[in-house]
Amino acid sequence: MDQFSLLDAPASDPRSRAAARAATLRREIERHNRLYHQLDAPEITDEAYDALFRELTGLEERYPELRTPDSPTRRVGGAVLPYLETRPHRERMYGLDNVFSEEEWEAFAQKAARALPEAGGEVMNAWWADPKLDGLACEIAYENGVMTQALTRGDGEVGEVVTEAMRTVRNLPLRLAGPGPFPRRIEIRGEVLMFRKEFEELNRRQTELGQKRFANPRNAAAGSLRQLDTAVTASRKLRFLAYSLGAVDAPGAKPWATHDALMASLKAWGFDTPPEGRVCRGADDALAYFRRMEAERDALPFEIDGVVYKLNDREAQAALGFTARAPRFAVAWKFTSRKAETRLKKISVQVGRTGALTPVAELEPVSLGGVMVSRATLHNEDEIRRLDLRENDVVIIQRAGDVIPDVLGPVLEKRPAGTRPFEFPRVCPVCGSAARRLEGESAWRCLNVACPAVLKRSVTHFVSKAGLDADGVGAKWVEALIDAGRVKSPADLFTVTAEELMSYERMGEVSAGNFVAALEKAKNEATLARFISALGIRLVGEQTARTLAERFRDMDELASASAEELMRLPDVGPEVASSVRAFFETESNRELLARFRAMGLWPKGGESGREGALAGRKVLFTGTLSRPRDEFRRMAEAAGANVASGVSRTLDYLVAGENPGSKLDKARSMGITVLDENGFLALLGGKGAD
């Protein structure tokens, strides 16, 4: 990229040269970001891109004043806000009125035409149509082409300031593309979304961590955007699709005559826009568009819930104006939702890792939007009572974003004779001990620390990837040891010998050796973050564990932290704080910790964690590296990365050594950044293992 340096550096002092070079780098990097993420047409190798990025990071470190708001280095997040500030919208963000049928759509269009008789058929027949995106509306302000503010819709009048969080959204231009001139100030409105794939991955993670699942991609997007710690937002891979304008301040500029001209400008400025947007002419065309989107909605990578029609002529839009609620020139035609009727055969109750008794609806299998379903979530006792769900009822189920549907309620007319209200068990269905429902909680819990169901899940979690990651200790063996009464807590695992294991059926010398070695290694290599996460403290997942491990030196320090102290940390609210306190106040947990300490499993904190060069990134190693794989894994984790086990679209980097095999091909085909060992070390800032 040497061709830029001289041209861009008319001044000769080092600082001005650095400033000019940084400006060039920012432009170039954002151009390559766009080529890569939006256009799927990279022009340079990943190594060359990384070199540009590193050069910019280096300049910004040397001259912090060069860290401009539109710098691509800001996209990794890291700003932590004390609370979400609110600010008024310059122009109100209206909702949309809904129609549900062809007749209602036509009535809407005719009403608009009657309100504006002078406009003529040509104008009043042309509607811009695009999918109604099921995310959350957001408004981004640009001043002279540079992104300066982002507000959520809020109540339409006042929104929350999410500027820093939106900077981490990869497909949002931080600076408008093209030569300009740009409006003095312009607000671009659109939808923040999470792709279905990301959403499912996130929920899988949340479940694994015993954390709250998101009900649908929209809630997940909202939860991810409204974060105080923008590193969390950065890790969630949100996208922004632009579809309209807010306030515009562009003296002397000619306004767009049509919505399609506006959409073309938004694209030219570097925004992604809703797919398939086009002008429809007349009711038949509008209907054809609706039918096609309805048929193709599952092929899109994100959720849509209808089609939005906007009068294409912007002068006519302005003339029609707004009702108290919504524009008169735009409407949402909603899809009918995906519901089905089936029989609820049985309500079964499962026991989770934290002992929560979770009701599950066992259904007569039924096809729902092309997927056969036989189970649905029922959440908790209150929900079952609220719906008055009974075994043998005919129920209506609905699939929202997730594959697992919700039960909306019973069809009372079809209720068979002899059903009885469901009685939620007061005892654990596995160990039979009394369950309790704690103050302020919706779940009944089995509080028996020795309950085999709870024990199996908690010990399995302890050695899982979310815990100490003792690869070689299979769930099957954990279960066998628990069933045999040999393991009653995760600490017992470390006392199991290879000889002992070999007395179990199907346990050979090699796997017995692996089992013991894996635990020994996990014990020696445990970081404080992994250890905390392994303990399975309710509401404390990997992310929160990392936060705690950064703040506290060891478990003693964490144990003596007050709830107030804990709540000062990002990510930690009153519920998490009280769950951490409750953990340490429980006698059996203190005993467990004492055993870990005695056996030398007592890691120290202070990891670089979230602030690391790879914060929130997902890395996978493949092939033969110059040092043991685990050493690399630890380096990646110390830099804040998560180490993945397979290639998926959520992967950020594949680090390939000698003879890499099929993972490399797969990563290449998915356009994932591939690094060699040196490239990886360079990402860490040139530092190798200590």
Footprint on this chain of ligand IVH (rule: CB under 6 A): 94-96, 130, 132-133, 137, 191, 243-244, 274, 308, 327, 330, 332
Query: Which residues are part of the catalytic machinery?
Result: 132
CA distance 229 to 83: 10
Strands 642-643 and 618-622: parallel
Angstrom distance (rounded) from CA 630 to CA 623: 13
H helices within 87-188, ranges in order?
102-115, 121-124, 163-167
Q: Which two tokens stand for residue 467?
A: 């815990």
Rounded to whole angstroms, how far apart are CA atoms 462 and 482? 14
127 bridge partner residues: 280, 311
Q: Judged by CB, which is closer to ligand IVH: 207, or 323?
A: 323
CB of 317 to ligand IVH, least distance (A): 8
Helix residue spans in 494-552 (DSSP H): 498-502, 509-525, 528-534, 542-551
User: Which residues, including other chains, have CB under 8 Å from residue 408's CB and lie 6 or more apart?
Assistant: 339, 387, 395, 396, 397, 398
Q: How far apart, in whole angstroms, are the C-alpha atoms of residue 459 and residue 475?
A: 9
Instruction: Give the residue at shortest CB distance from ligand IVH.
Output: 137
Q: Which residues contact 686 (CB under 8 A, 6 or more apart)?
A: none
Tell the smallest beta-carbon distance from residue 369 to ligand IVH (Å).
20
Q: Which residues contact 246 (CB under 8 A, 6 or more apart)?
A: 89, 90, 91, 93, 139, 141, 187, 188, 189
- Identity of the residue numbered 200: E
Give the HSE-up count for residue 514: Cα atoms under 13 Å, Cβ half-sphere.
11
Give min distance, CB of 331 to ligand IVH, in A: 9
Neighbours of 492 (CB within 10 A): 16
CB of 326 to ligand IVH, least distance (A): 8
| Buried residues in 351-384 as b, exposed as e (16+ CB within 10 A) | bbbbbbbebebebeeeebeeeebeebbbbbbeeb
Q: Which of 383, 356, 328, 354 is nearest to 457 (CA)?
A: 354
In the complex with ligand IVH, the residue whose CB is nearer, 91 or 249, is 91
Q: How far is the CB of 132 from ligand IVH (least distance, A)?
A: 4
Residue 332 tokens read as 């949402």
Q: Are the C-beta atoms of 355 and 332 separated by less than 8 Å? A: no
- Strand partners for 99: 333
Smallest distance, ligand IVH to C-beta of residue 41, A = 25
To ligand IVH, the closest distance from the beta carbon of 401 in angstroms equals: 15
Answer whether 354's CB lies under 8 Å from 536's CB: yes
The distance of closest approach from Cβ of residue 135 to ligand IVH in the complex, given in angstroms and rounded to an integer, is 7
Considering the complex, state which of residue 243 and residue 271 has its C-beta at the smaller distance from ligand IVH.
243
